[in-house]
């Protein structure tokens, strides 16, 4: 054999080896090895491309969700959609609070966050910027409900997208038909203003058969958290409380008057127990809160709902959305698979699932999905489901890690006004002063 032939044979062998190696690399890419490019997202466990088994760990801080509830909520659906994924859930509680999980260095992949805990967690810088994966997988963010996605963009800096919303809720006005029927008062209607509701409430605030009936009340803390004026508790630039304002005082006076209808003033001991008046004592005609109360109370009460009343200068504007978001953990070893799951949670398929079982309202711009809400819940049959979703939700207020410190004083101020132990100016001045002290103390820790 000539030298030239041997050399050609070696070159051919090397080329064949290189081609084989290249083919192997392409196969690994298609299978999602090392992070999963676009082909992996397109497959989603449905095609013939093999995906390597992977465990994806979920964590939901500040929430009492159990492992069984998580599997019913999304775990089982994720495993069915992605057969190569084994969902694992770490319940929040003793020994698994956020600081415990972080200090233990546990392998986490996806964090589920309510909007109330969003600032605290994001302040720890433990989320992944999803911007590149959004581009990589051609994820269509325009499908997401506007106020939710605007909040995510506003909260991020430098164009960061730290999460995707997965379901939401909002304030709704629920009413006990039996009380209205008892006093022959017409039911509330869509399109009411707060002044309209006040006049209606006066007709239902009376004593009958030794029972004190009340017209309307709400959970003051939640109403302020989702207020229709989109007022923040803390200025995001100065990190100082922003509650001693004319608009906050207007909010306070609006709600306080319902607690002071002559002859039906709420006793001090009942403040904070408005939900019990509606669902247990059943002497409150109307109650504003999230639709979760409707889902549970409708099992044994003759109730229905209409949209939250609006301020006359802001016609039709409902409450802010109070949403749950999902973030990819910054130290996740499976970020691409985690993002595929996030994308799936916002798909119409999962949005319908969340709606049917009453978990939450859809966070995508597909109003047809609203009709699915509560379909698996017999107690919601025939109810005014469309009332649960504001036609014009208020923009989500800017949030900070100090919101809780300011909000509790705003709630106290409103209650003092409602109880007539302080005028609105004095109450909110004191609230802002105390909130400022609390924030400064927190900054020094």
Instruction: Say if residue 42's pLDDT is above 80.
Output: no
Question: Taking a C-beta distance cutoff of 8 angstroms, is the pair 414, 408 a contact?
Answer: no
Q: What is the pLDDT of residue 64?
A: 86
Lowest mean pLDDT among 116-120, 190-194, 438-442: 116-120
Q: What is the mean pLDDT of residues 406-420?
A: 96
The position carrying tokens 């007539």 is 420
Rounded to an integer, what distance in angstroms lies between the CA atom of residue 176 and that of residue 163? 38
Q: Which distant-in-sequence residues (6+ apart) come within 8 Å of 130 by Cβ?
A: 161, 162, 163, 164, 328, 339, 342
Kindly report, residue by residue over 366-382, the tens digit of the pLDDT: 888 988 999 999 999 99
How sure is the predictor about 105, in pLDDT bands with cuts at 50, 70 and 90?
Answer: confident
Averaged pLDDT for residues 91-98: 87
Give the least confident one: 116-130, 262-276, 315-329, 407-421: 116-130
Taking the alpha carbons at both ends of the chain, their separation in whole angstroms is: 82
Task: Indicate the pTM of the whole model.
Answer: 0.86
Q: How far is CA 393 from CA 52, 71, 169, in A?
A: 42, 30, 11
Confidence band for 176, pLDDT divided at 50, 70 and 90: very high
CA 230 to chain centroid, in Å, comes to 16
Packing angle between helix 335-345 and helix 348-356, nearest 10 degrees? 60
Residues 6+ apart with CB under 8 A from 373: 355, 356, 358, 361, 380, 385, 388
Asked whether residue 242 carries a pLDDT value surpassing 50, the answer given is yes
Compute CA 41 distance to the chain's CA centroid, rounded to the nearest angstrom: 26
Reported as a pLDDT band with limits 50, 70 and 90, residue 17 is very low
Phi-psi region of 149 (alpha: psi -120 to 50; beta: other; left: phi over 0): alpha
Q: With bands split at pLDDT 50, 70 and 90, how would you rate the model's confidence at 37?
A: very low
pLDDT(311) > 60 = yes
Q: What b/e readout covers 77-94, taking b as 16+ CB neighbours within 10 angstroms?
A: bbbebbeebebbbbebee
Domain with CATH 3.40.190.10 in the chain: 40-169+322-379, 171-319+402-443
Mean pLDDT, to the nearest integer, of 36-56?
Answer: 59
Q: Domain 171-319+402-443 carries which CATH code?
A: 3.40.190.10
Confidence of residue 49 (pLDDT cuts 50, 70, 90): low
Q: Are 186 and 198 in contact (CB under 8 A)?
A: no
Residue 158 has pLDDT above 80, yes or no: no
User: Taking Cα atoms as reference points, which of 19, 14, 102 lies closest to residue 61?
Assistant: 102
For position 31, what pLDDT does the model report? 35
- Per-residue pLDDT of 390-403, as tens digits, reads 999 999 999 999 99
Instruction: Report yes or no: 305 and 172 within 8 Å, Cβ to Cβ.
Output: yes
**How many C-beta atoms surround the C-beta of residue 15 within 10 A?**
10
How far apart CA 125 and CA 128 sit, in angstroms, is 8
- Report pLDDT for 15: 38
Helix axes 246-256, 424-443, angle to 10 degrees: 120
Least confident of 33-42, 223-232, 402-411: 33-42
Q: Share the mean pLDDT of the chain.
A: 89
Choose among 100, 78, 79, 82: nearest CA to 91. 100
- The dotted CATH code for 40-169+322-379 is 3.40.190.10
**Local confidence band at 99 (pLDDT 50, 70, 90 cut-offs):** confident
Other residues' Cβ atoms within 10 Å of the Cβ of residue 262: 7
Confidence of residue 18 (pLDDT cuts 50, 70, 90): very low
């Amino acid at each position: 054999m000539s030298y030239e032939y041997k050399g050609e044979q070696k070159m051919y062998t090397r080329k064949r080896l290189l081609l084989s190696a290249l083919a192997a690399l392409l196969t690994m890419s298609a299978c999602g090895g090392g992070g999963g490019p676009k082909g992996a997202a397109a497959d989603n466990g449905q095609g013939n491309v093999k995906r390597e088994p992977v465990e994806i760990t979920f964590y939901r801080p500040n929430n009492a969700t159990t492992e069984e509830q998580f599997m019913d909520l999304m775990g089982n659906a994720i495993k069915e959609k992605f057969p190569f994924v084994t969902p694992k859930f770490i319940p929040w509680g003793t020994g698994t609070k956020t600081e415990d999980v972080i200090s233990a260095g546990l392998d986490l992949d996806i964090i589920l966050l309510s909007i109330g805990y969003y600032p605290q967690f994001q302040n720890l810088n433990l989320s992944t910027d999803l911007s590149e994966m959004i581009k990589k997988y051609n994820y269509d963010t325009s499908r997401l409900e506007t106020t939710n996605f605007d909040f995510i963009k506003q909260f991020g800096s430098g164009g960061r997208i730290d999460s995707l919303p997965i379901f939401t809720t909002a304030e709704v006005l629920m009413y006990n038909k039996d009380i209205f029927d008892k006093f022959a008062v017409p039911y509330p209607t869509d399109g009411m203003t707060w002044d309209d509701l006040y006049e209606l409430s006066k007709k239902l605030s009376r004593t009958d058969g030794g029972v004190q009936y009340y017209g309307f009340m709400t959970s003051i803390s939640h109403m302020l958290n989702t207020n229709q004026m989109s007022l923040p508790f803390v200025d995001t630039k100065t990190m100082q409380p922003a509650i001693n304002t004319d608009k906050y005082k207007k909010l306070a006076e609006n709600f306080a008057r319902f607690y002071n209808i002559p002859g039906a003033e709420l006793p001090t001991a009942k403040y904070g127990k408005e939900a019990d008046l509606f669902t247990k004592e059943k002497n409150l005609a109307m109650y504003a809160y999230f639709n979760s109360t409707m889902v549970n109370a409708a099992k044994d009460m003759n109730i229905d709902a209409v949209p939250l009343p609006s301020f006359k200068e802001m016609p039709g504007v409902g409450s802010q959305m109070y949403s749950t978001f999902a973030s990819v953990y910054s130290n996740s070893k499976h970020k691409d698979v985690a993002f595929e799951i996030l994308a799936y949670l916002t798909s119409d398929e999962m949005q319908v699932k969340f709606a049917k079982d009453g978990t939450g309202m859809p966070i995508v711009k597909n109003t047809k999905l609203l009709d699915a809400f509560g379909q698996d819940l017999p107690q919601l049959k025939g109810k005014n489901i469309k009332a649960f979703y504001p036609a014009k939700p208020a923009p989500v207020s800017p949030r900070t890690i100090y919101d809780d410190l300011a909000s509790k004083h705003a709630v106290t101020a409103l209650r003092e006004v409602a109880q007539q132990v302080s005028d609105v100016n004095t109450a909110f001045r004191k609230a802002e002063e105390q909130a400022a002290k609390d924030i400064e103390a927190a900054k020094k820790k």
